[in-house]
Amino acid sequence: RAKVPVKKSRTIAGAIPAHPSLSCARFSTGLRPQSTTPLLLKAEDAVGLNRFFGIERMRSPSLEKLHSAMHFSRRTFLRARAIAFLVALSLTFPLAAQETRWKELSAQAEQLQKQGKYAEALPVAQEAVRVAEATFGDQHPNTAAALEKLGEVYQAQGKYPEAEPLFKRALDIREKALGAESLELAQSLNSLGELYRAQGKYAETEALLKRSLAIREKALGPEHPDVASSLNNLANLYRDQ
């Protein structure tokens, strides 16, 4: 590579300040205007050029401030990312524990209801609703399931006015969250229909049970046991009339 005649020429555009992060620098000597290929200048060569031009201090105050700000910004970013990770991690385990608690309460309420222990099942089902709302939010399908279970306990006790708003709320949540043709919605329609049948509200019952049957037939086919269950509920309704 041709040696740059530094002392004989003052046409060099400028020296590149040396910096610990530099392994090399690019500069154009201006000695060969016909050449557009820049030469590679090593950091130690840049030091010599800076000293030749009388620039003894390699770092200007502005550069020092810039690097200080860059290091500070990087430290801040890494610290913020670490904090965000720890917060997310700290929230994950309590949520998992609460979900497990909700499942345990739901299973316990279901078991007590099957045993006919409605007075014992009621506070368990109420606690399951509270945990579901706190864990998943008041518009989550799991909250709808908890509401429906509480409604079933009230219905088993003959407390229809208490059960009806719970069934309606569960139905509304499922329709918004899961869609108008979901099987979960079909379950809510069936539950509310059975509540109305127990109260002798046959017209409301028929509309709900037919809609539930239509969803199940479309999703599961005409030979599915859940479809048979819906047909049986309609048959019971017509028998009661």
Residues 63-78 have pLDDT tens digits of: 565 556 555 566 677 7
Residue 82 pLDDT: 67
Residue 221: pLDDT band by 50, 70, 90 thresholds?
very high
Rounded CA gap, 210 and 83, in Å? 53
Which amino acid is residue 35, in one-letter code? S
pLDDT exceeds 60 at position 22: no
Residue 14 pLDDT: 43
174-195 average pLDDT score: 96
pTM of the complete model: 0.62
Question: Between 169 and 4, whose confidence is greater?
Answer: 169
Residue 30 pLDDT: 41
- CB-based contact 147:129 (threshold 8 Å): yes
Write out the DSSP string of 75-111: HHHHHHHHHHHHHHHHHHHHHHHHHHHHHHHHHHHHH
212-224 average pLDDT score: 96
What's the mean per-residue pLDDT of the chain?
78
- CB-based contact 124:153 (threshold 8 Å): no
Tokens of 71: 């290091």
Radius of gyration of the chain (CA): 38
CA angle 155, 160, 166 (to 5 degrees): 80
Residues 30-55 have pLDDT tens digits of: 444 444 444 444 444 544 545 544 44
